Structure 1
Amino acid sequence: MPDHSERARMPLAVYVLGLSVFALGTSEFMLSGILQPLARDMGVSIPQAGLLVSAFAVGMVVGAPVLAAATLRLPRRTTLIALLAVFGAGQIAGALAPTYGVLFASRVVSALACAGFWAVGAAVAVSLVPVTARARAMAVMVGGLSIANIAGVPAGALLGQHAGWRAAFWAVAALAAVGLAGVAALVPRTAVPTGEDRPQLRRELSIYRDKQVWLALVATALNGGAVFALFSYLSPLLTDTAGLDESWVPTVLALFGVGALIGTYIGGRKADANLFGMIFGGIGASTVVLAALALTAHSPVAAIALALLLGVTAFATAPALNARMFNVATAAPTLAGATTTSAFNLGNTLGPWLGGLVISAGWGYPAVAWTAAGLAAAAVLTTVIAFRLQRTGAGSRVVASSASATASAAAPDPDRVRADA
């Protein structure tokens, strides 16, 4: 069976990259489970502590395209090792942070390194496999993110409750060290392309003249904002509104992660057959789940069940949203991945910020869920506009360009990735 042969060709290096993403994702999302003890220890409010989530997201938004462009012509393996080292140092700085300001700065630095690793790592993962296995390679990396929600985030919450929130930062630093060792040992050295194959920043930047790229970016950002407006304040919603004990928080976060893994699997299986259908269905379902959570937030059973469902609906759209960006930005594979990362984290910045404003206004945590539902509904509307433009022919230039570039990419080039030995 072709499927089995493709699985046999998946290099171990791709799984090492997925492991590294697990460490990065744990750091990005773990604050949701340690927000309260961190706020108490640092002497700040919950909304101020929530801004640490936004700080990481801002670093991701800026870091992904900037570092992707800055390292475009550098050896990929060396770049990945350097970025993981900086990320690990940022976690250590966070663990030792004496003040909120130092912790905030450490989150930004860690995020810059995380963004660069994701953008470069995605390009490396794709380059290590045949064209027909690229989606699977990306699924391994996204899977690292999903597993971070299942295992990493709840484990961070558990550590925060029993060993102090700083222990979670030390644990992620250790994970980063393991990932760094794996990248150094298993990711092959690659020669920097020369001649016509050499990456050209001007050519890659040309994708930003396309309205479909911007629509895809906005839809991804709004969807991310919807999810993380709620997720960033899920812990206090569960305890203060639903009335659950703090000991329940790691379990509910783990359920969200299980939902995320299920959603990633469903989205990966269905997105290729019906890309827009998967986006409409996933984001539309998230809108309904968030509205239902706003209405039933005082019920512990409903809050737990809907947290699981939100994980499913939110991550079911991830493969489709990523594929959509690559479809409309085929001429710029490096910046396509970086742009998706930036868009996702733009939403991750917007969502917690809006949620914090709602909480500070005294409207309560259910109002955060209503805010998230509004963002998701706006993402659906943006996707409708993109779909109508494509159906009416406004996206024909993009489709033609993408088809040409895809045909070119399908032709194997043995010199594109070769070992330095």
Structure 2
Amino acid sequence: MSNVSLSTSGEAAATGEVPGRDVLGAVPALALGTFAVGTDAFVVAGFLPELAADLGVSTATAGQAVTVFAAAYALLSPVLATLTARLPRRRLLVGALLGLGAANLASALAPTFGVLLVSRVAAAAAAAAFTPNAGAVAAFLVRPERRARALAVVVGGLTVATALGVPLGGLAGQWTGWRWALGAVAGLALLVAGAVSVLLPHLSGNPRVPLRERLAVLRRPAVRAILPLTVLGMAAAYTVYAYSVPALAAVGLTAGDTAWALGLYGVGAVLGNLAAGLVTDRLGGVRVLAVGYVVMAAGLAGLGALAASGARVPVLVGVLMVAWGAGSWCQTPPQQHRLIAAAPGEAPLVVALNSSAIYTGIGAGTLVGGLTARPGATMMYATAAGLAVAALVYLLVTAGERTASS
């Protein structure tokens, strides 16, 4: 197998032939890795009450396990990109998956909530080391005409995890207990580590780019105007998500119904992501985002109205879950489009910063959700819908500035 080095600009400098069909088996393995990461990030939502009861904390407190994971990912992603730049890619990716597996085993065996939080930070560090590099490596494993397809396959692992991994994890938590569900994620991560170590060719590391240089792009007014929207929009999307079980109980669903409801959220997420990717080039990022925030706000407000009224309309809940998922996950393609247009020469850096902003928003939203969970689900839904409206207002205010790209 040939060697390929990946430069900091995102271009490949081949030291041999560009890999072809002999290494294509590595791309599905990397996608399975991102599926494991995506499942691990949010699987806790499916069994939060059981976890809270077992570890002797409130449901609102237990939800901070998601906050801690997201915050650690956001903070560690640029730091780890700098510290691990020179490592060979296979060693880095396999090591990250082994770390993810070990961290999830620690979570599954955690005797106290404090130990669980420490293990979630370790899992986030492993995820932050794996996900960005998996996408970059996939793009360079294949011939140029197949690179976009390979990247879509790997990134698609995260979206599929939202649609399938989290609901299945929730079912596993109900059937076998939350510890076994986290153990299954650990087993998947270790299995993928073995596959990547066998299938991935040697890929040398990159020159080290100082963290200060990575963050220098934030001096651009357009980038500074666009990134806060990612944080605000994802906070709106995830204020309720970690508390899905009690929030959905407020609209008449049992714990057993949560899996199909989250599955419908995932269907909406996939559809929203695909639709946004297809129409952003034609309509522009601002229009796509505006529609997305309206759809998200409507879905969350509708669920809040059902919770407040005490009405039991499962079909309507399903429709609103699809709307919530679609509005949440339609954000990433247009935001990346706007950021790349704002800093075309630094696309890899702004995409990485957007990833950190996504997890910052997820952590902030989960924190807000924990604070509003005590007054009740109606307040949680209303707060999330209000944040979606705030994101729409921020978008419309900043979109007219010359510093912001559509």
TM-score, normalization by structure 2: 0.87
- Give the drift of 1:369: 1.1
Q: What residue is the counterpart of 2:352 in the other structure?
A: 338
* Contact map agreement 2:251 2:303 (CA 8 A) in 1: no
Picking from 169, 174, 177, the partner of 1:156 is: 169
Q: Tell me if the contact between 2:79 and 2:211 (Cα under 8 Å) persists in the aligned partners.
A: no
Structure 1: how far apart are the matches of 2:396 and 2:88? 40
SS in 2 for 1:72: coil
Matching residue of 2:362: 348
List aligned pairs for 1:23-172, cutoff 5 A.
Answer: 23-128=36-141, 135-172=148-185
- Residue 367 (str. 1) matches residue 379 (str. 2): yes
More moved, 248-257 vs 200-209: 200-209
**Aligned equivalent of 1:207, options 217, 227, 231:** 217
CA contact (8 A) 1:120 1:334 kept: no
Identity %, equivalent residues: 37
Q: Distance in 2 between matches of 1:268 and 1:133?
A: 18
Change (3 A) 1:71 1:93: same
Work out whether 1:319 is the aligned partner of 2:333: yes
Gaps of 5+ in 1: 1-7, 400-421
Once the two structures are superposed, the pairs formed by residues 275-286 of structure 1 within 5 Å of their partners are 275-276=284-285, 277-286=287-296
CA contact (8 A) 2:23 2:200 kept: no
Query: What is the distance in 2 between the residues matched to 1:139 and 1:377?
Result: 30
**Secondary structure in structure 2 of the residue aligned to 1:44:** coil
Deviates more, 1:250-259 or 1:26-35: 250-259
User: Where in structure 2 are the equivalents of 1:405-420 lying within 5 Å?
Assistant: none
C-alpha distance 133-213 of structure 1, shift in aligned 2 (>3 A): farther
Once structures 1 and 2 are overlaid, which stretch shifts more, 85-94 or 314-323?
A: 314-323
Deviations 1:155-179 (A, max 9, x none): 1111111111101111101110122
Equivalent position to 1:21, from 34, 58, 63: 34
1:243-301 deviation line (CA, Å, top 9, x unaligned): 22211111111111122122222122222223322222212221222222211234342
| Matches of 1:150 and 1:48, distance apart in 2 | 25
On the 8 A contact 1:225/1:375 being kept in 2, the answer is yes
- Distance in 2, Cα, partners of 1:270 & 1:205: 30
SS at match of 2:201: coil
How big is the shift at 1:9? 12
Q: Deviations over 1:176-217 (max 9, x none)?
A: 0122123222233223456xxx75655433211112222222
Q: 1:359, CA displacement in angstroms?
A: 2.0
- CA distance in 1 between partners of 2:380 and 2:206 (Å): 48
Which sections of structure 2, spanning at least 5 residues, go unmatched? 1-20
Amino acid at match of 1:223: G
What amino acid is the match of 1:19?
L
**Equivalent AA in structure 2 for residue 280 of structure 1:** A
**Where does residue 410 of structure 1 map in the other structure?**
none
Deviation at 1:138, TM superposition (A): 3.9
Distance 1:330 1:124 in 2: 21
CA contact (8 A) 1:62 1:112 kept: no
Quick one: structure 1 residues 120 and 333, their matched pair in 2 at CA, closer, same or farther if it must change by over 3 Å?
farther
Whether the 8 Å contact between 2:162 and 2:269 is mirrored in structure 1 is yes
Q: Quick check: 1:16–1:179 contact (8 Å CA) kept in 2?
A: yes
Question: Is the CA contact 1:119–1:334 (under 8 Å) kept in the aligned structure 2?
Answer: no
Q: What one-letter code is carried by the residue in structure 2 that aligns with 1:226?
A: A
- Per mean C-alpha deviation after superposition, the further-off stretch among 138-147 and 241-250 is 138-147
CA pair 203-359 structure 1, distance change in 2 beyond 3 A: closer
Q: Please tell me the root mean square deviation across aligned C-alpha atoms, in Å.
A: 2.5
1:377 maps to which residue? 389
Question: Which string of whole-angstrom CA distances, capped at 9 and with x for unpartnered residues, describes residues 332-365 of structure 1?
Answer: 34433321221111111111111111123x2x10
Shift of 1:305: 2.1
Q: Supply the distance in 1 between the matched residues of 2:245 and 2:256 (Cα, whole angstroms).
A: 10
Distance 1:245 1:395 in 2: 45
Shift of residue 131, structure 1, vs aligned partner: 6.6
Deviates more, 1:299-308 or 1:125-134: 125-134
Contact 1:22–1:148 (Cα < 8 Å) also in 2: yes
Residue correspondences, number: 382
